[in-house]
Amino acid sequence: MREATKKDILSLGACLVVYGILQTLITTNVIGPFWQLNLVLICINIILVSSLNLINGFAGQFSIGHAGFMAVGAYLGAVLTVKLHLPFLVAILGGALAAGMLGFLIGLPTLRLNGDYLAIATLGLGEIIRITILNIPYVGGASGFMGIPRYTTFTWVFFLTVFTIFFIKNLINSSHGRAIISIRENEIAAEAMGVDTTRYKVLAFTVGAAFAGVAGTLFSHYFYIAHPASFTFMKSFDILTMVVLGGLGSITGSITSAVLLTFVSAALASYPEWRMVIYSLVLIVLMIYRPQGLFGNKELSLQVFKNWGRLFGGDKHDAVKGK
């Protein structure tokens, strides 16, 4: 058995243990409704941040319209369950497919742009999606799409989060992933070596958009409503903040930042007048001392802890030897 496969099996086992512990605490009401809500939000944010990191961190593009794809998944999923009475799984797949197809159609013309031009284009497209939804009476228009059943549970979001992380990780570790990373490192050199840069940029954009659609479907089926105000450009900036904080090109960084910022936001809910001030200060301090993000483009692993242990163990040994 390959080393990578062993690590995946161990990671899946650890995820099952974490799920078992959290589900037991939820069932026994040790974790109350407020923190149950925040656990669901953490999982949805991890899906959003990991999928945007594929575009911004691994492919090296600069997209700030991710909330638009989340909105597509939220509304289409709601239409499939409320209007067409289809199962929740079909709604999730439909939301992912619709957002992915839109990402593909948008990605073909816009990904020929770079840097600030691409950011402006994706920001505008995200707003176009939101304004279009705002003017469709069939899905509630400005009042939002109400009466959505709560099909999203902790079990659904947890395992879809695990699936998202493993899918993106395996994509990055494949030959396609190496081609995507080569575009980030040097697009001209990658093209000179025969990498179809447009194809792989569109691939990253499509996959990232599809997972944003999954997050949107989970979101609308947890909060009973899909409202255009939930998918403004500020939502895209929140997701982008988490990506940058965790580290561009780090999946474990995305997970850590999503957990950290969601937890900070929830912990400060009792202090609404200070909430955004403290939240902003935390981000400023972290950006001053870790401008590359918490993990940079590295991944947290057991080997990192072993290296730290050897480092501190070596220092102690040298200190004793010096005496």
CA dihedral 140, 146, 149, 151 (to 10 degrees): 80
Confirm whether 11 is domain-assigned: no
Phi and psi angles of residue 265, each rounded to the nearest 5 degrees, phi first: -60, -40
pLDDT tens column, 210-244: 999 999 999 999 999 999 999 999 899 999 989 99
What are the residues facing 226 on neighbouring strands? 145
Asked if residue 98 belongs to a domain, the reply is yes
For 145, the domain range is: 32-233
Q: Does residue 3 lie within any of the structural domains? A: no
pLDDT in tens, 136-169: 999 999 999 999 999 999 999 999 999 999 999 9
Q: Does the residue 18 lie in any domain? A: no
CA pair distance 30, 81, nearest whole angstrom: 32
For 106, other C-beta atoms within 10 Å of its C-beta total 24
8 A C-beta contact, residue 162 and residue 15: yes
Which runs of E-coded beta strand occur in the chain? Answer: none
pLDDT single digits (tens) 252-307: 999 999 999 899 888 888 887 787 787 788 778 888 888 888 888 778 765 555 55
Token pair recorded at residue 225: 């409503």
Q: Judge residue 322's burial from the number of C-beta atoms within 10 Å of its C-beta, 0-12 exposed, 13-18 middle, 19 or more buried.
A: exposed
Residue 196, in any domain of the structure:
yes
- Residue 25 belongs to some domain of the structure: no
- Residue pair 4/173 in contact (Cβ under 8 Å)? The answer is yes
Number of structural domains, the chain? 1
Residue 48 in any domain: the answer is: yes
CB atoms within 10 A of CB 83: 11
With respect to residue 258, please indicate whether it lies within any of the assigned structural domains: no
